[in-house]
Amino acid sequence: MDAASEYRCPVYSSDTVDAAKRAELLVRPVKSSADILALVSPILDSVRNGGDEGLRSCVVKFDRCLAAEDTAFPLTLKAPFPAELAKIDPKVKQAIDVAYSNIKAFHSAQMERESEPIRVETMPGVVCQRFARPIGSVGLYVPGGTAVLPSTALMLGVPAQVAGCKNITLATPPRPDGSISPEIIYIAGLVGAQTVVRAGGAHAIAAMAYGTETVPKADKLYGPGNQFVTAAKMSVAMDSGARVAIDVPAGPSEVLVIADKTADPALVASDLLGQQEHGLDSQSVLITIDCDDAYVEAVNAAVAEQAQALPRAEILRKSLSQSFILQTKTVDEAFAFSNDYAPEHLLLYIADAAKSIELVENAGSVFVGPWSPVACGDYASGTNHTLPTVGYAKQYSGVSTSSFLKHFTSQELSPAGLKNLGPYVEILADVEQLGAHKASVSLRLDKIAREGL
């Protein structure tokens, strides 16, 4: 076996894949979260009961931030953030500014639509409306530590700002010396965050869910994270004492590429590798439509060639066995598999790609045509990169401006409206044996009759 063959995606053909094998290909590895829930539970308790001091000891212990041992070390930074903490390379600043502008433009279009109440007069004199309001206090989790992930700060902070959330808190793990990467501080300022919490992991989630002396209590928590962060988010969302919601269930990242003969094998390979470099539990899937074995071999050859030249070659060598290529005959067959798989990222590298969006039922975000690699959506095209994974695109949407809003309805009846609707309400209240419900209508109808309204 030469070195190149270590970098290879397993290949299947729909001719030989039976129903059982198809079902197996659709399944992602599911990790049981029960053990991790048990591990995070004492961490959550220590912050819930201990407040800032509980949080501080977790920051020392789990974030390995020795600076926090000094009780004079502030666990939070409050806006306005000092300019010297946000000093970044001008080229990086420009790239962040472009990404910010695009994300803001796309998420603002959602807000424009949401700002307008829906109003329907369902019967004469019965007016129903629906209104959006920003969620008051939101907590954004930005993973970090050794790597710097400014893109997550943008993807969570911009829709919060666009939605009009009044109290934006951003938590991210500090470095050992207690500092936060300047890119994150710069973005926290851009999006109008009030507080940066220098903490990562389950304890950061607990601090925002329950609030501490210096960390504002959040109404909803957002953002990806490791399995401890995910377990902590699930745990507080289930705790009716916390009264906190979460964004989407988190899981390993994935891409499904649908390609036909028009797709350049080298570019397809680059898309598969872009996904697999995230780690060993990531999955990239290629569905070919009416492509021969030589095409598939060309993709695998390009995978091997490109992978060995990449900085994360070792991760790629191990993780490519998690990926696979499935050869299909028709567009319908390819989309049927994709819709059953419900990928986080769906890349349509086929003729008539734009038109085939109508065939997509389940996906997080779709990348249309040859010039739309996933990395563009990850960073800067304008769409959000916080997306449902492991098949949850069947029932969840990615993070959007709506994720930072909640809606309420209203109804206003005129006397004529109540005369039109009330008698039916009385009948239905009778069926459900709710006498006081009925009386609240009857007493009003009596009054309307009495006063000749």
Residues in 294-333 at the binding interface with a second copy, rule: CB under 8 A = 306, 310-312, 316
What residue type is assigned to position 392 of the chain? Y
278 marked ligand binding residue:
yes
* DSSP code, position 329: S
Q: What number of residues does the chain have?
A: 453
194 marked ligand binding residue:
no
Neighbours of 12 (CB within 10 A): 15
CA distance 398 to 155: 11
Residue 280 interacts with a second copy (CB under 8 A): yes or no: no
CB of 238 to a second copy, least distance (A): 6
Region of 379 on the Ramachandran plot (φ > 0 left; ψ -120 to 50 alpha; else beta)? alpha
What residue type is assigned to position 61 of the chain? K
Stretch that binds a second copy, among 12-20, 59-67, 146-154, 325-333 (CB under 8 A): 146-154
Q: Pick out residues in 155-194 that bind a second copy (CB under 8 A).
A: 183
CB of 69 to a second copy, least distance (A): 29
Which residue in the set 59, 244, 258, 299 belongs to the binding site for a second copy (CB under 8 A)?
244
- Rounded to 5 degrees, what angle do the CA atoms 338, 344, 345 make? 80
Whether the CB-CB separation of 170 and 134 falls below 8 Å is answered with: no
Which residue in the set 162, 263, 273, 285 belongs to the binding site for a second copy (CB under 8 A)?
273
Whether the CB-CB separation of 448 and 413 falls below 8 Å is answered with: no
Residue 279 interacts with a second copy (CB under 8 A): yes or no: no
Residue 98 interacts with a second copy (CB under 8 A): yes or no: yes
Catalytic residue check, 107: no
Whether the CB-CB separation of 283 and 383 falls below 8 Å is answered with: no
Determine which one of 345, 385, 407, 412 is catalytic: 345
CB of 76 to a second copy, least distance (A): 22
What residue type is assigned to position 403 of the chain? S
Whether the CB-CB separation of 192 and 168 falls below 8 Å is answered with: yes
Residue 83 interacts with a second copy (CB under 8 A): yes or no: no
Which residue in the set 11, 17, 25, 126 belongs to the binding site for a second copy (CB under 8 A)?
126
345 marked ligand binding residue:
yes
CA distance 164 to 76: 22
The token pair at 177 is 């010396």
385 marked ligand binding residue:
no
Q: Pick out residues in 346-365 that bind a second copy (CB under 8 A).
A: 353-354, 357, 360-365
Between 331-341 and 19-26, two packed helices, what is the crossing angle to 10 degrees?
50
Stretch that binds a second copy, among 48-56, 72-80, 259-267, 326-334 (CB under 8 A): 259-267
DSSP codes of every residue in 68-121: GGSTTS-SEEESSPPGGGG---HHHHHHHHHHHHHHHHHHHHHHHHHHSPEEEE
Catalytic residue check, 412: no
Determine which one of 114, 254, 344, 385 is catalytic: 344
Stretch that binds a second copy, among 65-73, 112-120, 190-198, 207-215 (CB under 8 A): 112-120
Stretch that binds a second copy, among 106-114, 155-163, 171-179, 196-204 (CB under 8 A): 106-114
What are the catalytic residues? 344-345
| Binding site feature residues for substrate | 253, 275, 278, 345, 378, 432, 437
